[in-house]
Structure 1
Amino acid sequence: MLKDHRSRTDQRQQKKPDGFFPRLGHILGQIWHYIKRRLSFPDVTLKETATTKEAIIYYFDISISVIRSLLLHLLAFGLVVGALGLGLGLGYFASLISHDNIPSYTTMKNEINSGYEASNLYFANNVRLGSMRTNLVSESVSINQISPNLTKAITSTEDQYFYQHKGIVPKSVFRALLSSLTGIGAATGGSTLTQQLVKMQILNSETTFKRKATEILLALRVDKYFSKTEILQAYLNAATFGRNNKGQNVAGVQQAAEGLFGVPASQVNLAQAAFIAGLPQSPSVYTPYTNTGRLKKNITYGLERKDTVLFRMYRDNKISYHAYQAAKKYDLTKDFLPRAKNSQQSIKYGYVYNLLTSQAETIIKKQLYQADGLSAKKVNKDGALSEQYDQQAEQLLANRGYHIYSTINKPIYNAMQQVVKQQGSTLGQTYYDTTTDANGNTVKVKEPVQNGSVLLNNKTGAILGFIGGRNYSSSQLNHAFDTMRSPGSSIKPLAVYAPAIERKLIGSETKLADFKVNFNGYKPTDYGSTIQNRFINAREALKESYNIPAINLYNQVRKQGSVKPYLEKMGITTLTSNDYKNLGLALGGTDYGLTVADEASAYSTLSNNGNHTDSYVINKITDANGKVIYQHKAKTTKVYSAATAYITSNMMHSVVTSGTASQIPSQTLFDTTNLVGKTGTSNDNRDSWFVGSTPTVTLATWTGYDNYNGSSYNLTDSSSEITNQFWSNLANAVYTADSKVMGTTKTRKKPSGVTTASVVKATGQLPGSLTVSGSSVSASGTLVKSYYNGWQPTTTKEKFGIGGTAANYATFWKNYLSGNNADGALYGGEVTSSTSSTTSTE
Structure 2
Amino acid sequence: MKNLWNSIVNSFKSIHSWSDFANKANLTIEVIRRIVLYTIAGLLILLSLAIGLGMGYVSALTTQVAVPTKHEMKTQLQDVNNSATLYFADGSKVENLQKDLEGKKVSLSEMSPYLKKAIVSTEDSDFYRHKGVVPKSIFRAIISDVTGIGAQTGGSTLTQQTVKMQMLSSETTWKRKAVEIFLAMRVDKYFTKDQILEYYLNAATFGANNKGQNTQGVAAAAEGLFGKNVSDLNLAESAFIAGLPQSPSVYTPYTKVVNDSNTTQRGTFKDDISLGMKRKNIVLYRMYRDKKITEQQYNDAKKFDLKSDFLKPAKASQKEIKYGYIYNLLTDQARTILIKRLAKSDGVKYSDIKKDKNLYERYYTQADTELHNKNYKIHSTIDKKLYIAMNQQAQQFKSNLGTTHSDDATDPNTGRAIKVSEPVQNGSVLLDNKSGQVLAFVGGVNFKKSQLNHAFDTQRSPGSSIKPLITFAPAIENGLIGSQSMLADFKTKFGTYSPTDYGETIQNRFVSARETLEESYNIPSVNLYNYIMQHGVSSKKYMSKMGIHLTDKEYRQLGITLGGTATGVTVLQQASAFSTFANKGVHVDPYVVADVKDPSGDTIYKHKGTKKRVFTKQTSYIIKNMLHGVVTKGTASALSYEANFSTKNLFGKTGTSNDYRDNWFIGSTQGMTLASWIGYDNFYGNNYNLASNSTDINQQLWANMANALYQEDQGVFDVKQSYAKPQGVKTYKVDKETGTLTGTIGYNGVTTKVNQHTAKSLYYKGSPNDMSYEDFAIGGKAKNYKLFWDNYFGRDNGYMVVKRLGESSKSADELANENGSGRTSGFSNSTNSNDSSEVITNSSSSTSRTNSSTTNSTTSNGTSETGTGSSGSGTGSGSGSGSGSNSESTNSSTSTNETGDSASSAGDTVSNGFTASDTAGAGE
Same fold flag (TM > 0.5): yes
Q: Is the 8 A contact 1:815 1:827 kept in 2?
A: no
TM-score, normalising length: structure 1: 0.79
1:194 paired to 2:159:
yes
Give me the whole-angstrom Cα distance separating, in 1, the residues matched to 2:90 and 2:700.
Answer: 31
Q: Which has the higher contact order (CA 8 A, sep 6+)?
A: 2
Paired position in structure 1 for 2:911: none
Pairing 1:249-268 to 2, within 5 Å after superposition = 249-252=214-217
Give me the whole-angstrom Cα distance separating, in 2, the residues matched to 1:815 and 1:271.
Answer: 95
- 1:540-578: per-residue Cα shift (whole Å, max 9, x none)? 1110111121112222223232111211222213x2221
Q: Is the 8 A contact 2:132 2:184 kept in 1?
A: yes
Give me the whole-angstrom Cα distance separating, in 2, the residues matched to 1:331 and 1:381.
Answer: 40
Pairing 1:170-209 to 2, within 5 Å after superposition = 170-173=135-138, 188-202=153-167
**Aligned to 1:709, what secondary structure does the other structure show?**
coil
Instruction: Supply the AA of the counterpart residue of 1:196.
Output: Q
Instruction: Supply the AA of the counterpart residue of 1:191.
Output: S
Paired position in structure 2 for 1:369: 343
**Aligned to 1:124, what secondary structure does the other structure show?**
coil
The partner residue of 1:565 within 532, 538, 541 is: 541
Paired position in structure 1 for 2:463: 488
Paired position in structure 2 for 1:666: 641
Paired position in structure 1 for 2:381: 407
Paired position in structure 2 for 1:158: 123
Give me the whole-angstrom Cα distance separating, in 2, the residues matched to 1:774 and 1:74.
Answer: 116
The partner residue of 2:85 within 117, 120, 145 is: 120
Q: Unaligned regions of 5+ residues in structure 1, if any?
A: 1-34, 48-53, 55-61
- 1:816-842: per-residue Cα shift (whole Å, max 9, x none)? 566989976369999899985653112
Paired position in structure 2 for 1:552: 527
Shift of 1:261: 8.3
The partner residue of 1:840 within 885, 892, 902 is: 885
Q: Return closer, same or farther for 1:381/1:73 CA change in 2, 3 Å cut-off.
A: farther
Q: Return closer, same or farther for 1:674/1:114 CA change in 2, 3 Å cut-off.
A: same
Q: Is the 8 A contact 1:121 1:403 kept in 2?
A: yes
Paired position in structure 1 for 2:511: 536
Instruction: Supply the AA of the counterpart residue of 2:398.
Output: G
Q: Unaligned regions of 5+ residues in structure 2, if any?
A: 17-23, 257-265, 800-845, 858-866, 873-883, 888-924
1:655 paired to 2:630:
yes
Pairing 1:194-343 to 2, within 5 Å after superposition = 194-202=159-167, 210=173, 214-215=176-177, 218-219=180-181, 222-223=184-185, 226-227=188-189, 229=192, 231-232=196-197, 234-241=199-206, 249-252=214-217, 280-281=245-246, 283=248, 307-308=284-285, 310-312=287-289, 314=291, 343=317
Give me the whole-angstrom Cα distance separating, in 1, the residues matched to 2:121 and 2:764.
Answer: 78
Instruction: Supply the AA of the counterpart residue of 2:66.
Output: S
- 1:345-394: per-residue Cα shift (whole Å, max 9, x none)? 32222222211211121222222223334433233233332222222221
**Aligned to 1:314, what secondary structure does the other structure show?**
coil
1:699 paired to 2:723:
no
Shift of 1:770: 5.9
Pairing 1:426-825 to 2, within 5 Å after superposition = 426-438=400-412, 441-558=416-533, 559-573=535-549, 575-624=550-599, 626-769=601-744, 776-789=751-764, 792-798=767-773, 799-813=775-789, 815-816=791-792, 825=849
**Aligned to 2:320, what secondary structure does the other structure show?**
coil
Q: Is the 8 A contact 1:137 1:249 kept in 2?
A: no
Q: Return closer, same or farther for 1:496/1:73 CA change in 2, 3 Å cut-off.
A: farther
Q: Is the 8 A contact 1:513 1:548 kept in 2?
A: yes
Give me the whole-angstrom Cα distance separating, in 2, the residues matched to 1:288 and 1:590.
Answer: 43
The partner residue of 1:398 within 372, 380, 402 is: 372
Shift of 1:268: 9.1
Q: Is the 8 A contact 2:500 2:869 kept in 1?
A: no
Shift of 1:584: 1.2
Shift of 1:642: 1.7
Give me the whole-angstrom Cα distance separating, in 2, the residues matched to 1:676 and 1:40.
Answer: 95
The partner residue of 1:104 within 50, 55, 66 is: 66
Q: Is the 8 A contact 1:271 1:306 kept in 2?
A: no
1:422 paired to 2:396:
yes
Instruction: Supply the AA of the counterpart residue of 2:730.
Output: T
Q: Is the 8 A contact 2:288 2:295 kept in 1?
A: no
Shift of 1:309: 5.9
**Aligned to 2:647, what secondary structure does the other structure show?**
coil
Paired position in structure 1 for 2:328: 354
Question: Percent of pairs identical after alignment?
Answer: 46
**Aligned to 2:719, what secondary structure does the other structure show?**
coil
Shift of 1:593: 0.9
Q: Is the 8 A contact 1:36 1:43 kept in 2?
A: no
Instruction: Supply the AA of the counterpart residue of 1:238.
Output: A
Give me the whole-angstrom Cα distance separating, in 1, the residues matched to 2:219 and 2:587.
Answer: 53
Q: Return closer, same or farther for 1:773/1:582 CA change in 2, 3 Å cut-off.
A: farther
Shift of 1:326: 14
**Aligned to 2:515, what secondary structure does the other structure show?**
helix
**Aligned to 1:423, what secondary structure does the other structure show?**
helix
Give me the whole-angstrom Cα distance separating, in 1, the residues matched to 2:527 and 2:55.
Answer: 63
Deviates more, 1:243-252 or 1:86-95: 86-95
Q: Return closer, same or farther for 1:290/1:669 CA change in 2, 3 Å cut-off.
A: closer
Instruction: Supply the AA of the counterpart residue of 2:156.
Output: S
Q: Return closer, same or farther for 1:651/1:810 CA change in 2, 3 Å cut-off.
A: same
Give me the whole-angstrom Cα distance separating, in 1, the residues matched to 2:587 and 2:870.
Answer: 40
Q: Return closer, same or farther for 1:38/1:687 CA change in 2, 3 Å cut-off.
A: farther
Paired position in structure 1 for 2:837: none
Give me the whole-angstrom Cα distance separating, in 2, the residues matched to 1:36 and 1:797.
Answer: 100
**Aligned to 1:455, what secondary structure does the other structure show?**
strand
Greater helix share, structure number: 1
Q: Is the 8 A contact 1:150 1:274 kept in 2?
A: yes
Q: Is the 8 A contact 1:691 1:700 kept in 2?
A: yes
Instruction: Supply the AA of the counterpart residue of 2:849.
Output: A
Give me the whole-angstrom Cα distance separating, in 2, the residues matched to 1:100 and 1:841.
Answer: 65
**Aligned to 2:502, what secondary structure does the other structure show?**
coil
Shift of 1:490: 0.8
Give me the whole-angstrom Cα distance separating, in 2, the residues matched to 1:425 and 1:532.
Answer: 35
Q: Is the 8 A contact 1:434 1:445 kept in 2?
A: yes
Give 1 or 2 for the bigger CA radius of gyration: 1
- 1:429-464: per-residue Cα shift (whole Å, max 9, x none)? 233333444565544333222222222222222222
Q: Is the 8 A contact 2:663 2:679 kept in 1?
A: yes
Instruction: Supply the AA of the counterpart residue of 1:219.
Output: I
**Aligned to 1:586, what secondary structure does the other structure show?**
helix
- 1:5-34: per-residue Cα shift (whole Å, max 9, x none)? xxxxxxxxxxxxxxxxxxxxxxxxxxxxxx
Instruction: Supply the AA of the counterpart residue of 2:68.
Output: T
Paired position in structure 2 for 1:20: none
Give me the whole-angstrom Cα distance separating, in 2, the residues matched to 1:401 and 1:157.
Answer: 28
Give me the whole-angstrom Cα distance separating, in 2, the residues matched to 1:356 and 1:484.
Answer: 19
Q: Is the 8 A contact 2:169 2:598 kept in 1?
A: no
Q: Is the 8 A contact 1:601 1:614 kept in 2?
A: yes
Give me the whole-angstrom Cα distance separating, in 1, the residues matched to 2:254 and 2:871.
Answer: 63
Give me the whole-angstrom Cα distance separating, in 2, the residues matched to 1:288 and 1:355.
Answer: 29
Paired position in structure 1 for 2:842: none
